[in-house]
Structure 1
Amino acid sequence: MLKKTTILAGLVSTSMLLASCNEGNQYFSIATASTGGTYYPIGVGMGNLWTEELIDEGIRATGQSSAGSVENIDLLRKEEAQFAILQGLIADQAYQGTSVFEGNAYEDLRSITMLWPNVEHFVLMNNYVETGTIADIEGQSFSVGPQASGTEQSTLALINGIDLSIQDISPDYLGYDDTISSMRDGRLDGGSLPAGVPVTAITDMFASGVNASVLEVTDDQLDSINDGQPVFFRYTIEEESYPRQEEPIETIAQSNILAVDKHLDDESVYRLTKILFENLETMYQVHNSAKAMSLETALDGVSVPLHIGAYTYFEEVGMDIPEELIPPEAAE
């Protein structure tokens, strides 16, 4: 049974709050990614929502840019951020202690909700496109995302999944805007920009006439990728999602999740989760990808146990919570 929490007792300041709690103020930082993707605008929008709802109580929240999911894990561990948007792949690896987290499992990591599908966008200059699939990056200069980012890890998972390696490309490590800028200037052949549709940097790529395409992923490639990391699923980027995009693009996606350390107090996470789901229309106006958020999809693709504050809210609204997502703290 869930350990009873005092939901009406008011917010409790803990060591996980971002210092400087002078005069009762509390500051929450939401780690996102580079500014050209989807994590940043949604994190900023979420922070604005929480601030607008709780400013009278001295509570403020803000999205902060970062290198992405891998760095965000580090920011949570070091208490330099209280919330983080993570790729489902990275969250699972961190909690389980696999891949780049081998021997360094983050057992205190907890989830709050699935936010939206993180859609894979491998882009390549058209003069190098042969099959139209992600296999075409072989031999090209290609940005795999910033170092220590979720983009880098998911890109490597896809590359390795189709029997290529980092040695089969000339890798660069750029953010989304810099990737498109380098392609436009002829300094780079392509890059990986996973994010919710539409990705701002890719909208700019199409709108500004960069002679490049988003590559597709075949069913065989998807099966091969999931042999090693079974978190990806089929996703279709509908036509006209981007300027001058006349045909649908068959790619793949994974879930993005909102995560937190288990030590952030239950009441804070409960209230912020409640505010988020009671103001989804506000989030929908922040970015098209946020329209994937709902109570019905809140646990889709989530593999890390819930924070007990989020668990309390989801139980309160009558959700059926899978056993593997029930926080270990609920039995204490």
Structure 2
Amino acid sequence: MTTLGSVVESGRWRSVLSWISMVCILTAIGQSPTTRAVEPERSYSLATASTGGTYYPVGVAIATLTKIRLQPQKGISLSAVSSAGSAENIDQLATNQVQFAILQGLYGAWAWNGAGNIGQRQTHLRSVSMLWQNVEHFIIRTESAQTGNIEDIHNLYHRAFSLGKQQSGTEGSGHHILLSNGIDSKQLRLVSMGYGTSASSLISGEIDGINVPAGVPVAAVSEVFSSLGNSVRLLDFTDEQLARVNQPYQLWQRYVIPINTYPGQTRPVQTISQPNFLAVRDDVDEQAVYEITRTLYENMSFLHGIHPATKDMALDKAVEGLPMPLHPGAARFYREQGILIPPHLLPGT
């Protein structure tokens, strides 16, 4: 029988969706799948991103955990859905197609301030929790890596490059990073692809570079290095390049990808990362958000087993870097845990 451990070790996290694996997970965390609900059903949708990155498997894990822990007794459940990423997630939150979403910090800041690719303030949005760091993986062929840092993207002008799917957070933040450092992304022959397709196209020689921002390690990046080895290069960022990216929002930080994180990676990569966070509509039931927040932090080992990126999550980091005020349900849980909430994140601000 498939166990949660074998699902994680083999990378077949999609089987979390199956009822066979669900039963295994239920056994692992001590719940019965036949427990009857005793409260009215409150079902919500959680928007993630494409299946080749980190948003989707972590979103599936959060949804699965909620169904196991909260649906039987509380009637609260989440269903994870794939999407093009942060930009589409914000649109779906605005139209109530979904009630929860994983967002990049940059897109959260844009949405709350009515800036960047969003344009109009999204005052219906609230924060639930910081999740993990979204690590930038700019990968190009070694022959084009003259400096080894982001400046080398200049060498790909008029060549095929994947910045992610159209309207995705990957694409939007990629444009921001490049333009901040004087790289005209319009001079690239951009193609619109998800993470898995981008990796396959780089391997096959159809394109010359990709960016895959996600929690480390990223399956698509591992695939690239397993196939291409030293013929590709993960680009670094200098301190000056990092400082330029952080205008006007101080979101990114230094992130070092350790040696051997990816097959054949013989040097640490000095890249950058921005936070991802869980967002929710302000009209979602306060008690439901409270219960979901509580459940996340009472079952961290379960999330850690699904994807290593979630090891960044910790209660003492829950409100760090959030770009918009907390939902009252989340704020209530953090107060109970003795977490100091900064004034700008208090509900009603």
Question: 1:77, 1:225 → 2: CA distance?
Answer: 27
Is it true that 1:161 corresponds to 2:180 in the alignment?
Answer: yes
> Which of 321, 326, 342 is 1:301 aligned to?
321
| Contact 1:235 1:250 (C-alpha < 8 Å) held by counterparts | yes
Residue identity in the other structure for 2:132: W
- The offset of 1:181, in angstroms, is 0.8
> Which of 121, 125, 138 is 1:105 aligned to?
121
Is it true that 1:181 corresponds to 2:197 in the alignment?
Answer: no
Is it true that 1:92 corresponds to 2:129 in the alignment?
Answer: no
> Which of 80, 85, 92 is 1:75 aligned to?
92
> Which of 168, 183, 198 is 1:149 aligned to?
168
Q: Give the match for residue 216 of structure 1.
A: 236
Is it true that 1:324 corresponds to 2:340 in the alignment?
Answer: no
Question: Percent sequence identity over matched residues?
Answer: 41
> Which of 34, 46, 49 is 2:62 aligned to?
46
Under a length normalisation based on structure 2, what TM-score does the superposition of the two structures give? Answer: 0.85
Question: 1:66, 1:303 → 2: CA distance?
Answer: 21
Question: 1:68, 1:268 → 2: CA distance?
Answer: 24
SS at match of 2:174: helix
Is it true that 1:129 corresponds to 2:150 in the alignment?
Answer: no
Question: 1:63, 1:214 → 2: CA distance?
Answer: 31
Question: 2:146, 2:313 → 1: CA distance?
Answer: 36
Gap regions ≥5 residues in structure 1:
1-22
The structure whose RCO (Cα within 8 Å, separation 6+) is larger is 1
Moved over 4 A (4+): none
Question: 2:111, 2:247 → 1: CA distance?
Answer: 19
Question: 2:185, 2:221 → 1: CA distance?
Answer: 23
Question: 1:203, 1:26 → 2: CA distance?
Answer: 38
Deviations 1:176-209 (A, max 9, x none): 0111111111110011110000011001111223
Gap regions ≥5 residues in structure 2:
1-38
> Which of 263, 272, 276 is 1:243 aligned to?
263
| Contact 1:115 1:258 (C-alpha < 8 Å) held by counterparts | yes
The two structures, once aligned, show a CA RMSD in angstroms of 1.4
| Contact 2:131 2:318 (C-alpha < 8 Å) held by counterparts | yes
Q: Give the match for residue 116 of structure 1.
A: 132
- The offset of 1:155, in angstroms, is 0.3
| Contact 1:30 1:64 (C-alpha < 8 Å) held by counterparts | yes
| Contact 2:76 2:288 (C-alpha < 8 Å) held by counterparts | no
Deviations 1:52-76 (A, max 9, x none): 1123244432211100001000111
Deviations 1:273-301 (A, max 9, x none): 00000111111101000001111111121
Deviations 1:99-150 (A, max 9, x none): 1222x11011100111000111111122221111111112142111111111
Q: Give the match for residue 214 of structure 2.
A: 195
> Which of 31, 51, 55 is 2:47 aligned to?
31
Residue identity in the other structure for 2:57: P
Question: 2:271, 2:150 → 1: CA distance?
Answer: 9
Query: Would you say how many aligned residue pairs link Structure 1 and Structure 2?
Result: 306
| Contact 2:277 2:322 (C-alpha < 8 Å) held by counterparts | yes
- The offset of 1:242, in angstroms, is 1.1
SS at match of 1:63: strand
| Contact 1:254 1:301 (C-alpha < 8 Å) held by counterparts | no
Residue identity in the other structure for 1:318: G
SS at match of 1:234: strand
| Contact 1:50 1:272 (C-alpha < 8 Å) held by counterparts | yes
Bigger helix fraction: 2
- Bigger mean CA deviation after superposition, 239-248 or 58-67: 58-67
Question: 1:320, 1:302 → 2: CA distance?
Answer: 13
Question: 2:248, 2:335 → 1: CA distance?
Answer: 33
| Contact 1:161 1:228 (C-alpha < 8 Å) held by counterparts | no
SS at match of 1:306: coil
Q: Give the match for residue 231 of structure 1.
A: 251
Is it true that 1:170 corresponds to 2:189 in the alignment?
Answer: yes
Question: 1:271, 1:76 → 2: CA distance?
Answer: 20
